[in-house]
Structure 1
């Protein structure tokens, strides 16, 4: 799509946005959003327009297909390309290479809304955006012009390749090597749990060009069909089934030096910079799931009868619903503060991103799980969306840095400033 700046994007899409409306996220679509959990609170008029557009897309283009994509493990390429037409392929990529040029807070608002339609698909879009941003931020002019426009339109898709079979939380110990031979690097090694692996076109690979530790790591872009690049079997997962996950295998894989992002030894810093935003993004996906589940639980309590009256008259369940709503709003406030800190490059940004990822993914999983419990046996049936939200966001407590690692980052920050 053409470059979409913050204001021009609203103008150009105004006719589409004008048709959007708030929608409940179950098949009945009976009731609107309760004001106390309204995700539009505190947003500018412009942000509300982006949010409405994302909610509308989620309700019409994603939610009706969410269960089928999960059941049949469909990677919904054409739907994502429709999302890219709205600017969602490069939300915080610069407009001169086809991006939307929006802020981290705008991005969080959009991913929260999209996730009400399908968490798994939105989570992949968030990873794609992170990869696109990494090229836009750390690439030279030639690299940006080569890769970013097609990633912004999602004519091509991207994958982030850091984790290895033997290095997950200890990412700096990665073993994939890149040896310089003339004007090419020769890559050998493998990456594990790669979202989109085998179905995507561009792989952002962290590899070792130097000695041990983070300073020996560089970042290269490996294009699909590069000789020596292959993929493992498609993994069978509990959730995230609308995006394929495979190992990425590099065997004497020849990659031009011109595909390196930044300088040699800068790769670990690039990877971590990407993950700071990735943690905000993935927490936003959890937030969208929790928002949908609070509404699903509320609607179920209002119509389901036991012992001669609706469950909404049960004080225990009223209190549980109140706790869910409170944790939802608290999660949203923390997440948006972290997004602002990251956008402004504040000194507390890394800690706040870690806090947000830790708190939001934990609490939002608990919200969705409680919503399933409120549905009773029905919640365990695949006819009901609540179970898919539970399955899809469970992994958010693991990826983009486990929540145990988030605790380590937060504690180190606190202790390093204690003097």
Structure 2
């Protein structure tokens, strides 16, 4: 009888442990009650990485339970015990690291030289070889209407080839839905996944700031990062009256480690207003351009954690002018320094997920690490139903 009770207790414990639990978190600023976007949530048991959307929300599933560690460059870190997440929606408040003073950093070294040093050191410190498991999601708009959507679970195997960072892509699962205008070439549909990770690992977006001639076209300022005293922030703003397509830059970096933590690049409305429109066939007139990447420093590891790219432009196809907009999000859900084992036939060699047949084995988007907002979910469901 005693033996039966022990066995029963074992099976009950196993059932509880193996049970899949779904949790919803909503992250809010404790002072303003506003949602917190781009917070990184680490599941301590599985090392899975999650990210909050612009509603401060994330939904995920987990077998058993695990404590969670929440970090954000603008807020104090917080560890949440699994037992406390007992509601259908769990509201978590984060406390800002905000410093009321806007301290300007005075240095003999020109900001451009600091950026060069940061780029060189960050490239050296990024873990390569390594593998990133990532969730990619992309929306495509044609003439203001959502026309296409794709997402997928992707494995990036990063390695060095003659001092250059290269990546091998393995697509686990993917889905692609929508009606594509036949007159739009495949080159215009989305970001090229074969070069995306490589450019993030050599900081391609910052190359314009490394040009010696650029000093005369930008105003550089270094400040102590408002939300974290361990970080500095470099802003580079095009001088007034520019007639070139130049981004506004913001670079957040770890002062002690000399590592880039965050990059923001966006063409401002002021810059766009000063550009001349070109209606020649094939020319892209930029309406909006946004770029953002975040990097994570975890003990001895340093790697990309997320990216966001948006491009909106008008193009003269010869018959008409079309408005094209592409919105791409990528979040690293798992990081590992081990290499993948794969066959050459498994390697994804095409440009975008638009060009690959759907492979849906599970509801992978529910455990993707990036929860769609209410509006995004509405768009996804509408596109899928119309397919």
TM-score range, shorter chain: under 0.3
Higher helix share: 1
TM-score norm. by structure 1 comes to 0.23
If asked which structure has higher relative contact order (CA below 8 Å, sep 6+), I would say 2
Q: Give the number of the structure whose alpha-carbon radius of gyration is greater.
A: 2
Higher strand share goes to which structure?
2
When normalised by structure 2's length, the TM-score is 0.24
